[in-house]
Every structure is written in structure tokens, then in C-alpha cells.
Amino acid sequence: MRILVIGSGGREHALAWKIRQSGKCEKLFSAPGNGGMSESAELVNIQADDIKGLLKFAKDNNIGLTVVGPEVPLVAGIVDAFRKEGLAAFGPSGELARLEGSKVFAKEAMKRFGVPTADFMVFDKAEEALAYLDTRQAPVVVKADGLCAGKGVVVARSIDEAKTAVKKMMVERIYGSAGDKVIIEDCLSGEEASILVISDGKNVVPLASSQDHKRVFDGDRGPNTGGMGAYSPAPAVTDEIFKKIMDSVIYPMINGLAKEGKPYKGVLYAGIMLTQDGPKTLEFNVRFGDPETQAILPRLRNDLVDLMEKAVTGELEHYRLDWDPRPCVTIVMASGGYPGEFQKGMEIEGLRDVKNMRDVMVFHAGTKLGSRASDTRGLYITNGGRVLNVTALGSDIKGAIDNCYAAVKKISFGKMHYRKDIGYRAMKV
């Protein structure tokens, strides 16, 4: 089968790497892909949100399965557009992608299905949201309804900070229409974990648990990023807690949507806070996590293409996954300055030195082939904030962390930044 992976991050490189291992994959394309992905896929110069262009490419090139990485095309209805033309695309419909595309839609679904989450109120007028904040005590969480590239959540330590967030979202409209509505909700505390499952609309196949590190600096300080590292499994998610999350969050959502005549197909990613009162849902994403996927897929022994195909065709009953028991850790090497301003175009050195390290994989994110690539094979330059995901398995979590940093230390580029403490929470458990 000919397969297309849409997107250009580390997540997509990990998906492409795993898809290439499938006996079902004859040829792999990636749109638009990144430098490193050119080793496992043919890059196609079409952007991830160009649904018309992608559809035309898939039709013209006899693509049997399309795998959508990022949320934007999913929310824009790419799976519906492909399905209409008889093409298989892995992911939810545009309507159900609103579980990520509209936090109000997600909260209302959780309420209908009795899924534990923070108590909340929805506002579509700034004055009412501000007046409500006068009745609240900090901390409190303010969320813009729509997609904000991961920036739409403010955990406010004071009521003034919460009011400022409401004004920015609803009056200054810094996120445009994404701030037409805001949610004000209780602040939860505890450890966070990511639970990803694959569903065919009826049946659910859980992936291994994981945790990511969102803050840019060691000790979970500094601004939020897309993620600076991750590991799987998450030791905080014991078997008992995992079962509780499946029973209280995942099954009620999948079954509830099915009962409403809207079967959810694709990956459902629940961001969970492990509170003292049990697991509560922070958010849903309708796609694979980044960088969680980079730490999960190296542990998966099954054929990912088969799994995704069966999710599309509704054949996941009794499907069981087989996992490498060894933990996996991924460390993001980023451009200095990220998530703020940063420079691109730095030459990356040392990639060849890690190529043959056992149980080490490097998934590229913001890279492209450099101009000297033709005479120096494999020369890449930086082309984004998050540049590489250096990933390693180990016999235990410490072993995986050590293997990962041993590889990271061999790689360098100008002004690089990476956290030195990825996995520290897992070591404490």
C-alpha cells in the first residue's frame, strides 16, 4: 500500500519510521515532512493545512492510507473530505475533532457522559467573565475555546492575572475567534499523564502511558513549550490508575459518542491530572501527542499500519497490542530562544555518530537538508524551534535516560538548548 503522512514534526517522523517497518507499506510519502523524514519517505511540498492539495495528491498517487499528524487539518475536516472521495484517512471527523478544536465542545461532552474534569463555567461576554472572576479565588484557570497552537490556557495565580487573560482573549482578541468564548475552571493539582488510545468507533485499543515535560527549563520552569521531552511508560500511572482512566474517561467518551451516532475513529489523547480525588481530564486531543509519540512507538511491537487500517474499517475487536517492556525516553534538542525568537540555519553535527548506537533513534522535527548535503551526505541544518528528538530505550528508566543523554552529547548545533533533567519525575516514583 502507498501511504501518506501529513505533518512535519518529530511526531510525524516517528510515525513514518514505524510505518516503514510495516510489511504493508510499499511506498511512503510525507507532506510536507522534514529533513530527516527524507530518509524514510518521499517528501511532497504540500502544506499540512492545504486539504485540497493533499486530496488531489492522494487521488493522483493512489494513496491507500493517509495518516494525519497535526490537529489543524483534522479540525478543518480533512478526514471527511477524503472519505467523500472514497479515500481512507486515519482520524476523526471534523465534527468530532472539535473535542480538541473547541474546549467548550469537549467540556460539554464530558459533562454529558459523566467524565471527571474540573468544574467550569463558559462565557461569551468579557464583562460577565470579569464579574464572575470577582466572585472567585485564585488559582483559577482561563481557557480560550478555540485552537491557539497550545497557548490558549492560563493557570492564573491571582484574580488580576485571570482578568488580564480574559481581556487579552476576549477584548484584545489576541487569538482571534478562538477567544469568542472562554472557559473559567477550577485549578487542579497533581501529576499529569497522557493516555492515548486508538478507536474504530466502537472498540478501544489503549497505547502505553506516557508523560511529557512542557516547560522549557530544568525543574519545570520557564514558559510552556510544545514539549521538551517525554517518556513511556509513566510510572505514576499504575495498572489500577490506568484501569480507572479507561473506565471513567475513555470508555464513557467513546461509548457516549457512539450512542449519539457519532463514532470516534482515530487516536484519542486524554490529558489527565492525577488528583487526590482520582484522575481528572484536562483536555482531549484528537491526534498523537508530540513528543509522547516519539517515546511510545519505539516500544510498540505491532504493525502500526495494520492497527490504523483496522481503526478506519471498524475491525479492532479483540485487537491487543504487544509492548517492549523497556522504558523509552525522548529528549528534545531545541534552538536557543525557543519558544520565543530563535535562529535557523545552524549546521547539525554528530548525527552520524549516533546512527549505530544500540536502541537509539533520532527523530527530526525542525530540520532540513543543508546545501552541502550533496557532497556531505546526511548534513542537516536547523529549521525550527524544536529540532531533534533524541530517543532511547533502556533496561530501566535510568538506563533509558542515560542512553538518551549519551546520544544527545554527541550531537551539536549553534545555540542549541535541551533540558538536562528529562525523566526526573519518573525516577522519583
Interface contacts to ligand AMP, rule CB under 6 A: 118, 141, 143, 153, 155, 185-188, 192, 271, 282-283
If binding is defined by CB under 6 A, does position 212 make contact with ligand GLY?
yes
- Selection from ligand AMP, ligand GLY, none that 200 binds (CB < 5 to 8 A by kind) is none
- Considering the complex, state which of residue 12 and residue 185 has its C-beta at the smaller distance from ligand AMP: 185
Give dist(CA 143, CA 98) in Å, integer.
Answer: 15
- Selection from ligand GLY, ligand AMP, none that 106 binds (CB < 5 to 8 A by kind) is none
CB of 357 to ligand GLY, least distance (A): 25
If binding is defined by CB under 6 A, does position 100 make contact with ligand GLY?
no
CB of 284 to ligand AMP, least distance (A): 9
Q: Where are the alpha helices (DSSP H) in 8-120?
A: 10-20, 51-60, 71-75, 78-84, 94-101, 103-113
Sign of the four-CA dihedral 313, 314, 318, 319? positive
Number of residues in the chain: 429
Burial 338-362 (b: 16+ CB within 10 A, else e): bbeebeeebebeebeebeeeebbbb
Q: Which position among 12, 185, 200, 292 is part of the footprint of ligand GLY (CB under 6 A)?
A: 292
Closest CA to 4 of 64, 85, 71: 64
Q: Which range binds ligand GLY by CB under 6 A, 119-127, 288-296, 316-324, 353-361?
A: 288-296
If binding is defined by CB under 6 A, does position 294 make contact with ligand GLY?
no
Sign of the four-CA dihedral 204, 208, 214, 216? negative
If binding is defined by CB under 6 A, does position 389 make contact with ligand GLY?
no
- Selection from ligand AMP, ligand GLY, none that 118 binds (CB < 5 to 8 A by kind) is ligand AMP
- Selection from ligand AMP, ligand GLY, none that 383 binds (CB < 5 to 8 A by kind) is none
CB of 12 to ligand GLY, least distance (A): 12
- Selection from ligand GLY, ligand AMP, none that 235 binds (CB < 5 to 8 A by kind) is none
Which residue sits closest to ligand GLY, CB atoms considered? 289
- Considering the complex, state which of residue 122 and residue 153 has its C-beta at the smaller distance from ligand GLY: 153
DSSP designation for 79: H
Q: Which position among 7, 36, 179, 227 is part of the footprint of ligand GLY (CB under 6 A)?
A: 227
- Considering the complex, state which of residue 43 and residue 153 has its C-beta at the smaller distance from ligand AMP: 153
- Cell 459518542, located at residue: 257
CB of 259 to ligand GLY, least distance (A): 27
- Secondary structure E strands in 127-190: 140-144, 153-156, 182-186
Helices 103-113/94-101 angle, 10° precision: 100
Output the nine-digit C-alpha cell for 341.
525568537
Distances from the Cα of 105 to the Cα of 91, 181, 204, 283, angstroms:
18, 11, 22, 11
Question: Which residues on neighbouring strands pair with residue 141, listed in sequence order?
Answer: 155, 185
- Selection from ligand GLY, ligand AMP, none that 290 binds (CB < 5 to 8 A by kind) is ligand GLY
CA atoms within 13 A on the CB side of 251: 7
Those residues whose C-beta lies under 8 Å from the C-beta of residue 248, and which sit 6 or more positions away, are 115, 116, 278, 279
- Secondary structure E strands in 160-264: 182-186, 191-200, 204-206, 211-217, 221-232
- Selection from ligand GLY, ligand AMP, none that 185 binds (CB < 5 to 8 A by kind) is ligand AMP
If binding is defined by CB under 6 A, does position 12 make contact with ligand GLY?
no
Output the nine-digit C-alpha cell for 142.
482561563
Peptide bond into 73 cis (omega under 30): no
User: 207 with 15: CB under 8 angstroms?
Assistant: no
- Selection from ligand AMP, ligand GLY, none that 212 binds (CB < 5 to 8 A by kind) is ligand GLY
- Considering the complex, state which of residue 110 and residue 296 has its C-beta at the smaller distance from ligand GLY: 296
User: What is the residue type of 314?
Assistant: G
CB of 69 to ligand GLY, least distance (A): 10
If binding is defined by CB under 6 A, does position 289 make contact with ligand GLY?
yes
CB of 71 to ligand GLY, least distance (A): 8
* Binding residues for ligand GLY, total number by CB under 6 A: 6
Q: Which range binds ligand GLY by CB under 6 A, 127-135, 250-258, 285-293, 393-401?
A: 285-293
Q: Which range binds ligand GLY by CB under 6 A, 82-90, 286-294, 305-313, 316-324?
A: 286-294
Other residues' Cβ atoms within 10 Å of the Cβ of residue 186: 14
- Considering the complex, state which of residue 14 and residue 81 has its C-beta at the smaller distance from ligand GLY: 14
Q: Which residues bind ligand GLY (CB under 6 A)?
A: 212, 227, 285, 289-290, 292
